[in-house]
Structure 1
Amino acid sequence: MAEKILAHKNLVVRHSKLELMEHWAIAISGLILLLTGIFELPVAKRYYIITVPGLGWTADFITSLYLHYAAALVFSAVGIFHLVYHGLRGEKGLLPQKGDAAASITVIKSFIGLGKEPPMHKYLPEQRLAYAGMAFIILMLILSGLVKTYKNIYAPDMSHTVLLWATWIHNIGFILFFLAFLAHMAAIALRPNWPMVRGIFTGKVRLDYARHRHSLWLDEIEQKKNIPEAVPDEMAAPEKSDAPTAEPPELKQETEQPIGEKLEDKISATENEEKPPQTEA
């Protein structure tokens, strides 16, 4: 993750560039799938969509079908990449947690002044629930779409029952995906969520907003920042030994006496040797 506090800019990095690419690839390809899925029905001529400049192709079933396949390829590939990549990295911030339903109700009540919103992590509880719901809808669309594509390309004589089930699941998934898209847009339109719109385009949100609403998330970032990094073995300081270390011997400096003093010392020593011992009376 690229989460980082930029205090000098009053910003905090919420999403990495890779996450932004994933989001917009899913969003754009999903929108194309919605539109081309509608255009495969006989609605373009009926509702004069073909009269709109640049949309004359919408009445051509084959063109709409090929565009649908191309968008489905991007949609499926990015969805699988998202699942595998973030799963291997152990990123679970968007997975639903215990108590998210009750916490979502508390958050929604706070929007209309009924109570106060509690401190939040990086993602709101309703975001985690929406993520799980969207993941289920996308799984429905991909699996049923693969069955329908296999029938169109390789098995035109597929069992009618299997094809009927796949078609119904795909159609229901289409409706649910459209409703989820509207709910996503409605959530962004709520005033408390406006500061998050910036993060969808730049990956960053205001630091003061994050401290106010996502204080638990900022605490996690600051705790990670304060953890000291491991020092490589070769850079580590040598261990101190308890054994006493031998100190270098001190050099004894002999002071030389003058020659005259040396002669006097020798004479006095000789006189002491020649003097007979005195007996006590």
Structure 2
Amino acid sequence: MLLKQKEPPSEKYLPEQRIAYLYFVISIGLVIVTGIMKVIKNIMGVQPTNGILFWGAQLHNLATVMVILGVVMHLAAFIVKENRKLLPGMFTGYVDEEYVKERHSLWYKKLKKTYEKQY
């Protein structure tokens, strides 16, 4: 898409979507783990070292910035013309059939086969 070449056939999720999901899993996971560390320090009788508290807070802040940047990048993907057709789908849960046929051809074929078997 970015190189103006024809995209290879794709399943339900494009390669860039898979990378974005992995990015969010890592960054949100880091926020959760470091957040738990920050909560544990408030439990009576538990006293992590200052180094653990410091680096836990630094990682928590970094992960929070990563999540914010991820959301901004996710929304910025609509700048690319090919992705704009997905915007209504965020609110309705449905994507235009022509878009699916064009960008997710392998998934489209699978959906068509399933539909034809049912009817």
Structure 2 length normalisation: TM-score?
0.86
Instruction: Tell me by how many angstroms 1:156 deviates.
Output: 7.1
**Segments ≥4 residues shifted beyond 6 Å:** none
Q: For residue 88 of structure 2, what is the aligned residue in structure 1?
A: 198
Give distance in 2, aligned partners of 1:109 and 1:196: 21
Question: Within the alignment, does 1:174 sit opposite 2:68 as a pair?
Answer: no
Aligned partner letter, 1:169:
L
Q: Deviations over 1:94-116 (max 9, x none)?
A: xxxxxxxxxxxxx3212xxxx22
Question: Is residue 2:7 matched to residue 1:117?
Answer: yes
> Is the counterpart of residue 145 in structure 1 residue 35 in structure 2?
yes
**Change in 2 beyond 3 A, CA 1:201/1:155:** farther
- Between the two proteins, the alignment pairs up a number of residues equal to 118
- Unmatched runs of 5 consecutive residues or more in structure 1: 1-106, 229-281
Could you tell me which amino acid in structure 2 is paired with residue 139 of structure 1? Answer: G
The one-letter amino acid paired with 1:166 is G
Cα RMSD after superposing both structures: 1.9
Q: What does residue 51 of structure 2 align with?
A: 161
Q: Which runs of 5+ in 2 are unaligned?
A: none
Cα shift at 1:187: 0.7
- For 2:103 and 2:51, the matched residues in 1 are separated by 51
Q: Which has the larger radius of gyration?
A: 1
CA spacing shift, 1:130–1:155, aligned 2, 3 Å? farther
**1:227 Cα offset (Å):** 4.4
Alignment match, 2:111? 221
1:142 & 1:159 partners in 2: Cα distance? 20
**Partner Cα distance (2:116, 2:21) in 1:** 31
Matches within 5 A, 1:200-279: 200-227=90-117
Alpha-carbon deviations, 1:118-160, whole Å to 9, x = none? 3322111100011011101111100000110121354574321
TM-score between the two structures when normalised by the length of structure 1: 0.39
Structure with a larger share of its residues in helix: 2
